[in-house]
């Protein structure tokens, strides 16, 4: 599971800009916390996967949940 989260984190870094490298800040229960120092400021984010998915007879695929915070408050890569 952590490998999948690390791959998703790497994909996030590619979106946030070139030459940015994520730093793992630790694991907290089911959450994995990372930071990325970009030219626009520090980006903090946490990733997790569902602990339960319903209904059980449906293939939900790989589901991730991400929460992030941009230190400068100017998020540009977010759902609208």
Q: Which residues contact 47 (CB under 8 A, 6 or more apart)?
A: 5, 8, 9, 31, 32, 34, 64, 65, 66
Answer whether residue 80 shows pLDDT above 50. no
Return the structure tokens found at 31.
Answer: 């959450």
Q: Model-level pTM greater than 0.75?
A: no
Q: Could you tell me the residue ranges of all domains in the chain?
A: 2-70
Answer whether residue 10 shows pLDDT above 60. no
DSSP 9: H
pLDDT averaged over the chain? 77
Q: Does an H or E element contain 7, and which?
A: helix 2-16
- pLDDT tens per residue, range 26-79: 999 999 999 988 877 788 889 999 999 999 999 999 999 988 876 666 666 655
- Nearest alpha carbon to residue 46 among 26, 63, 60: 26
């Amino acid at each position: 599971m952590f490998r999948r989260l690390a791959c998703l984190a790497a994909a996030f870094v590619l979106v946030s800009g070139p030459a940015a490298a994520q730093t793992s800040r630790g694991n907290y229960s089911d959450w994995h916390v990372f930071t990325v120092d970009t030219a626009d400021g520090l980006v903090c984010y946490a990733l997790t996967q569902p602990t339960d998915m319903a209904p059980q007879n449906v293939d939900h695929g790989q589901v991730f949940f991400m929460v992030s915070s941009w230190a400068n408050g100017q998020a540009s890569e977010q759902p609208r």
